[in-house]
Structure 1
Amino acid sequence: MKAFDREAVKSAIKESVLRVYAAQHSDLDLYRNTLDCFSSSIDSVIQGISLDEWMIQEKERQVQKTKQNAIGTLHEEVMGAIPGVENLPVGNLIDIISIGHRLVAEVKNKHNTTKGNHKVAIYHDLAQALVTRAGYTGYYVEILPKGQNQYNKPFTPSDNKTNRKLPERADIRVIDGKSFYELLTGHKEALSELYLELPALVAEIINEKYKTALKANRITESDAFTYNFSKAYGE
């Protein structure tokens, strides 16, 4: 890897990958948070399946949700493995800080996962983080951008309380994931490089921990592997 220290990235994502693996092999109890018996019966009828089939389907859905939550901090972990970049613990005002790049950032995985009122909160969090960091820039990072676009522009979300956009500031910006990785590493294809190497890293982590024989090339040699990335980033 040119843009990253491979072993540093592997170490950074290890615990998240292991949590995903554990979720996949967990014996999930559907009743632990009180199963909605009304919803389950109605949905079974509408889908034309038995209640037993619905419960199998629901268990798979909940396992998938658990896995997505476990891997939700993947990019912050990878960024924290880049020299001069710190991934701050959960509960801090911001996710990422880099003294060398003079920036702070809040990182979200997908452009449409953050609601308008939450974007307003992110704007104010970035503004607050900049108060004591003169000359820094605050970034709201959307790893998966809307419409395959690349952008680095002022972040001016609409405030639903005033029905107006928040003030434009040159030091509070919204940026796509590809552009942000390039900014942190100095490598234009850093995100592509990470994507290409990630399956091998995951396979290594699981194989070393559980003595399994997972093969990354089953994923990377698929036409869908390249296609999926191109559909996200227009390449």
Structure 2
Amino acid sequence: MNNISNPKNKYVDFVEDEHLLKCVSNLFNSYLEAKKEFTKKKFYSNKVDVFKLIFDSKFNDLTEDDLIKLEMSRQIDKSVNNAIGTFHEEILGGIKGYESGYDIKANDESIFAEIKNKHNTMNSSSAESAFQKLARFADDHRKANCYLVQILAKKSFSKKWEAIINGKEYSHSRVHIVSGDKFYALLSGDPDSFFKLYEALPRAVEDFLKGIDPKTEKENSIIEDISTSAETTKRSILDEIAFENFYYYQGFKNL
């Protein structure tokens, strides 16, 4: 389904500037929420690999603050990946003739799609569930094509989804699996639309951040909390993290 583009847009021609900035805003809020919910207690409950922190600090010449920021980023990675998948869903839903909801659908119900950010985020059970759901939509809408979209796939492709999942063969004439670039092209009518979004995003994000109150981006308090605790106990930050994680292991109470 080809769509009429808007060459007057500042960022990309297949969704309006206002919509793109709204999608960036929603993702920004998801980042803030993930950081806000990530307390020191949760940071420690996930068990920090203090040996990896030692190697990271020495081999990559990282400060102790850098180590905490990297570990925080690693631990909230799943939440962020989910939010980025939602970002793509919202962007695609802004293309004329489409809307987000499940996860993407054409207004004329000719296309339904489920969006996954990465190709490796589904286990066999979730893949089976996704296929069955798409097949039901295809059966309920006789003229619809249904897609599992892998935004970050191993290669560029679009094909009928045929697979053996949990020992069962799955196939449907109108259920497909497709890479992110091919699906963006399908909805926008522009084969380069995914690349154009990549090129435009740095400018869009910079423009969005110009209107944000700096206080909104305040750093998560975990670094301050751990630093204060380390000062009280007269430990280094790395020793403080090691003690809090492994005080019940032999020898760590001596830190």
Could you state the TM-score of these two structures normalised by the residue count of structure 2? 0.66
CA change 1:48–1:10 in 2 (3 A) is closer
Unmatched segments (≥5 aa) in structure 1 = 89-93, 213-235
- 1:186-205 equivalence runs, <5 A: 186-205=189-208
Contact 1:17 1:205 in 2 (8 A): no
Measured after TM superposition, the shift of residue 64 of structure 1 is 4.6
Residue 35 in 1 paired to residue 45 in 2?
yes
Amino acid in structure 1 at the alignment position of 2:90: E
Measured after TM superposition, the shift of residue 121 of structure 1 is 0.7
Contact 1:13 1:78 in 2 (8 A): no
Measured after TM superposition, the shift of residue 109 of structure 1 is 0.9
Contact 2:109 2:141 in 1 (8 A): no
Measured after TM superposition, the shift of residue 164 of structure 1 is 3.3
Q: Residue in 2 aligned with 1:71?
A: 84
CA change 1:46–1:140 in 2 (3 A) is closer
For residue 210 of structure 2, the aligned residue among 202, 207, 210 is 207
Larger relative contact order (Cα-Cα within 8 Å, sequence gap ≥ 6): 2
Contact 1:116 1:157 in 2 (8 A): no
Find the aligned partners of 2:109 and 2:197 in 1 and give their Cα distance. 20
How many residue pairs get matched? 196
Find the aligned partners of 2:33 and 2:131 in 1 and give their Cα distance. 35
Residue 113 in 1 paired to residue 126 in 2?
no
Q: Residue in 2 aligned with 1:16?
A: 27
Q: Residue in 2 aligned with 1:165?
A: 169
CA change 1:164–1:19 in 2 (3 A) is closer
Find the aligned partners of 1:180 and 1:159 in 2 and give their Cα distance. 23
Q: Residue in 2 aligned with 1:122?
A: 130
Measured after TM superposition, the shift of residue 21 of structure 1 is 4.8
- 1:45-194 equivalence runs, <5 A: 45=51, 48=54, 56=68, 58-88=71-101, 94-100=102-108, 102-146=110-154, 149-160=155-166, 163-166=167-170, 168-194=171-197
Measured after TM superposition, the shift of residue 101 of structure 1 is 7.0
Contact 1:84 1:99 in 2 (8 A): yes
Measured after TM superposition, the shift of residue 120 of structure 1 is 1.0
Find the aligned partners of 2:211 and 2:99 in 1 and give their Cα distance. 27
> Partner of 1:71: helix, strand, or coil?
helix
Measured after TM superposition, the shift of residue 3 of structure 1 is 2.8
Identity %: 27
Q: Which has the larger radius of gyration?
A: 2
> Partner of 2:210: helix, strand, or coil?
helix
> Partner of 1:31: helix, strand, or coil?
helix
CA change 1:66–1:172 in 2 (3 A) is closer
Amino acid in structure 1 at the alignment position of 2:40: L
Find the aligned partners of 1:191 and 1:173 in 2 and give their Cα distance. 19
> Partner of 2:113: helix, strand, or coil?
strand
For residue 2 of structure 1, the aligned residue among 8, 13, 32 is 13
CA change 1:19–1:204 in 2 (3 A) is farther
Amino acid in structure 2 at the alignment position of 1:133: H
